[in-house]
Structure 1
Amino acid sequence: MEKLVSIIVPCYNQGNYLNDSLQSVLNQTHASWECIIVDDGSTDETKDIASKWVEKDSRFKYVYKANEGLCAARNSGIKIANGDYILPLDADDKISENYLILALLEFEKNQNLKVVYCNALKFGQINEKWKLPDYSLKNLAISNMIFCSAVYKKSDWERIGGYDVAMVYGLEDWEFWISMLKNGGEVKKIEEVGFFYRTKEDSMVTNLNDELANKMYDYMSVKHADFFVKHLGSFKILISTIQKNNKNLNNTKFLINLVFKKIVGFNLFSKNK
């Protein structure tokens, strides 16, 4: 029996893109999937468009909820998912027809895998290959290189408590992968292009200003301080510098930033990040 993959598509006022995204799901060569469309309190035509897909194929399901943000929307869809494997897919993005089957083959070959992703292309306002750094835990401590539409096991989502709803302003994928991978597990990147990321002038990423970004960095630096210190350096090597800055001893953002500048040569919290 084929492994069931649950594809979770949160949608907040992105009905104009939803058809393209769901068509890419319908085109999958791996037939054992369900697609849960989570309407996160949309006021556009999302419900009408989603309903047509539910009528077209019973593997599509529609759920409406009050608007609480992307993390809460994903969690609500995954909570009712029947699949052993999860693939989040934003309502304005697309996947290739072979993505699911290629990802599942990787999981069959390696029982230690936690995350499978692939090469990706940007389309829309910008059309180019998405050049992502190679995965390693150290690189993950510096920045995120795994986009949201990677395949993982539902059991791992349960283990870490799902997407952190405190990440309301963005960077939620980075935080999620850190939570999932920091204590072990392997990652596989498929060399084929399997994901298509839509670029637009107005998006959650482009709207993430410095003040909001810093709030998310601050939160992550506290929650995952052990992870950042482990892979970017120990505070012990900086004790003399810290002692000269006594006023900052209780400022976790300062401490983490000090390590980052010492080890990797940049300011994580700077306005140029």
Structure 2
Amino acid sequence: MSPIVSIIVPCYKQAHFLDEALQSVFDQVFMDWECIIVNDGSPDHTAAVSKLWIVKDKRFIYLYQDNGGLSSARNAGIKISKGEFILPLDADDILNLDYLTKLVPVLQHDASLGIVSCYSNFFYQTKNNIIYLLKPIGFSSDYLLYVNQLIATSLFRRACWVQNGGYDETMKKGFEDWEFWLNCTKRGWSYSIVPEFLFFYRKAQKSMLTSTIQQHSEEVKQYIFTKHKELYIKDFNNCMEVLFYELRVQRVGHDRYKNAVEYKIGKAILKPYRWILKWISKIK
């Protein structure tokens, strides 16, 4: 008999966290699950950690693939999974033991729902060191246009994944989960939020999310806005309001930086060097 939930755990260079994530799966009160650990070509000891869990419980399944990125790893795991519902879980995050007990019935009892999520604790280093509380809102694509209300570890129907054609594997710089949720909800699926803190998100100093926000945010947002342009055209006035607000915020930040004492001192120190470079370019 097929399990109700397939938990997909991609792992790349996070073997040192993997045990804690898999322990949180093993501890679930709801027991009708399978967990597919996808080794995304990781150069660390992901294989060794995974194999210990496969021996411990037959519900754990190990899959290796050459490195293809997060979306590719999730898709690979889902392709061999058997569950009616899918739960992505990053290798460094942790489920509350009641996560599935509280979320699975929500999808089972409402056929209009494609996704169900919950409140989340953001923690640093240890699970007890909570640094931020996330309380998402909404139910439709309107709430997802400019802010991703849903954590990546949200429970969804396999039918959503099939209709989307999977996670977008071209999105290797992040926000792939945001795009996935937009794709689901624009097809008519609603989402629901269980107002309980049932998930622990590990806040690392360096992560794919922080890298995306700091280095690739505009590029990835442009891709999402363009791919789902019908949603943003429909919401044109709000879209312009959001985009020009972000431009104003960036300008204010830029002006503050230019007026900072450190910037002015640095500019004065570098002035002779700029003059020398300009003079050299003229005599060449």
Q: TM-score range by the shorter chain?
A: 0.7 to 0.9
2:136 and 2:193 in contact (8 A); partners too: no
What's the counterpart of residue 41 of structure 2? 41
Query: Quick one: which amino acid aligns to residue 105 of structure 1?
Result: P
1:260 and 1:267 in contact (8 A); partners too: no
Is it true that 1:189 corresponds to 2:193 in the alignment? yes
Unmatched tracts of structure 1, length 5 or more: 235-258
Post-superposition offset of 1:3: 5.4
> For 1:129-144, what aligned pairs fall within 5 Å after superposition?
129-135=132-138, 136-144=140-148
What's the counterpart of residue 124 of structure 1? 124
Write out per-residue CA displacement over residues 204-226 of structure 1, whole angstroms, 9 at most, x where no aligned residue.
Answer: 01122555222211211211000
Is it true that 1:10 corresponds to 2:6 in the alignment? no
Query: Given the alignment, which residue of 152, 155, 160 partners 2:159?
Result: 155
> For 1:54-73, what aligned pairs fall within 5 Å after superposition?
54-73=54-73
> Runs in 1 of length 4+ with deviation above 6 angstroms?
none
* Structure with the higher fraction of residues in helix conformation: 2
Count of residue pairs brought into register by the alignment: 247
How many angstroms apart in 1 are the aligned matches of 2:36 and 2:76?
Answer: 10
What's the counterpart of residue 243 of structure 1? none
Select between 64-73 and 182-191 the one with higher mean Cα deviation: 182-191
* Secondary structure of 2:35's aligned partner: strand
What's the counterpart of residue 270 of structure 2? none
Cα distance change, pair 133–194 in 1 and its aligned pair in 2 (3 A)? closer
* Secondary structure of 2:211's aligned partner: coil
Unmatched tracts of structure 2, length 5 or more: 254-284
Post-superposition offset of 1:2: 8.8
1:117 and 1:189 in contact (8 A); partners too: yes
How many angstroms apart in 1 are the aligned matches of 2:42 and 2:16?
Answer: 12
Q: What is the identity percentage for the equivalent residue pairs of Structure 1 and Structure 2?
A: 37
How many angstroms apart in 1 are the aligned matches of 2:220 and 2:194?
Answer: 30
What's the counterpart of residue 236 of structure 2? 233
What's the counterpart of residue 206 of structure 1? 210
Write out per-residue CA displacement over residues 175-207 of structure 1, whole angstroms, 9 at most, x where no aligned residue.
Answer: 000000013122111112111000110110112
What's the counterpart of residue 104 of structure 1? 104
Query: Given the alignment, which residue of 173, 179, 182 partners 2:183?
Result: 179
What's the counterpart of residue 86 of structure 2? 86
Post-superposition offset of 1:129: 4.1
Cα distance change, pair 107–169 in 1 and its aligned pair in 2 (3 A)? same
What's the counterpart of residue 241 of structure 1? none
Query: Quick one: which amino acid aligns to residue 169 of structure 1?
Result: K
Query: Given the alignment, which residue of 168, 171, 174 partners 1:170?
Result: 174
Larger Rg: 2
How many angstroms apart in 1 are the aligned matches of 2:196 and 2:241?
Answer: 37
RMSD across aligned positions (CA) = 2.1
TM-score, L = length of structure 1 = 0.84
2:2 and 2:83 in contact (8 A); partners too: no
Select between 129-138 and 10-19 the one with higher mean Cα deviation: 129-138
What's the counterpart of residue 280 of structure 2? none
